[in-house]
């Protein structure tokens, strides 16, 4: 009987550990995306819209930022979908602010929006800023 009791106790502990690990993995699916207006001349306002995240657009003055917190599995295709449009006087571009193959190491993706393209800024000292081309 003592062996049976120990086995049941072990199974309960195992179930608790596995369910706790599962809850931790759910929170890892949250992605924070931040876009900061860093247009080169410092005098251009930036309008940002990410319709797959929310049906709003944001006017960012130089140096201002906006961030979105989203579940990485919330898109219609089952994966992250952060296609955003960026507009300022005389220009309009689109960029996917979270791509799992490119941004797999990113729970918080900080982007500086520049005229030449978005640049991902890392919080780690040994990681350089990586700039990308506009998608269109």
Complete DSSP assignment for 121-132 = E-SSTTSPPEE-
- Residues 126-134 have a mean pLDDT of 89
User: Domains of the chain: which residue ranges?
Assistant: 29-131
- Point out which residues pair with 94 in neighbouring strands: 85
For residues 46 and 39, is the Cβ–Cβ distance under 8 A? yes
Most trustworthy range by pLDDT among 18-27, 59-68, 118-127: 59-68
Q: What is the CA radius of gyration of the chain?
A: 21
- Residues 7-16 have a mean pLDDT of 57
Measured between alpha carbons, how far is 86 from 43 in angstroms, rounded to an integer? 16
For residues 46 and 89, is the Cβ–Cβ distance under 8 A? no
Using pLDDT thresholds of 50, 70 and 90, give the confidence band for residue 101. Answer: confident
Measured between alpha carbons, how far is 6 from 33 in angstroms, rounded to an integer? 47
Q: How far is CA 31 from CA 60, 97, 113, in A?
A: 21, 11, 18
CATH of 29-131 given 2.30.30, 1.10.3300, 3.40.1350, 2.60.40: 2.60.40
pLDDT given at position 6: 58
pLDDT digits (tens, 9 = 90+) for 14-48: 565 555 444 433 345 788 899 999 998 888 999 99
- The model's pTM is 0.72
* 107 three-state secondary structure: coil
């Amino acid at each position: 009987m003592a062996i049976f009791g120990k086995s049941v106790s072990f199974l309960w502990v195992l179930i608790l550990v596995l369910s706790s690990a599962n809850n931790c993995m759910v929170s890892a699916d949250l992605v924070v995306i931040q876009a900061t207006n860093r247009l080169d001349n410092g005098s251009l306002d930036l309008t940002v819209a990410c319709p797959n995240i929310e049906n709003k657009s944001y006017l960012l003055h130089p140096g201002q930022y906006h961030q979105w917190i989203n579940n990485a599995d919330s898109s219609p295709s089952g994966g992250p979908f952060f296609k955003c449009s960026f507009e300022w006087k005389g220009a309009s571009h689109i960029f996917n602010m979270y791509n799992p193959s490119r941004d797999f190491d990113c729970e918080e993706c900080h982007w500086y929006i520049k005229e030449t393209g978005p640049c991902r800024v890392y919080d780690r000292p040994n990681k350089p800023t990586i700039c990308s081309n506009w998608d269109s």
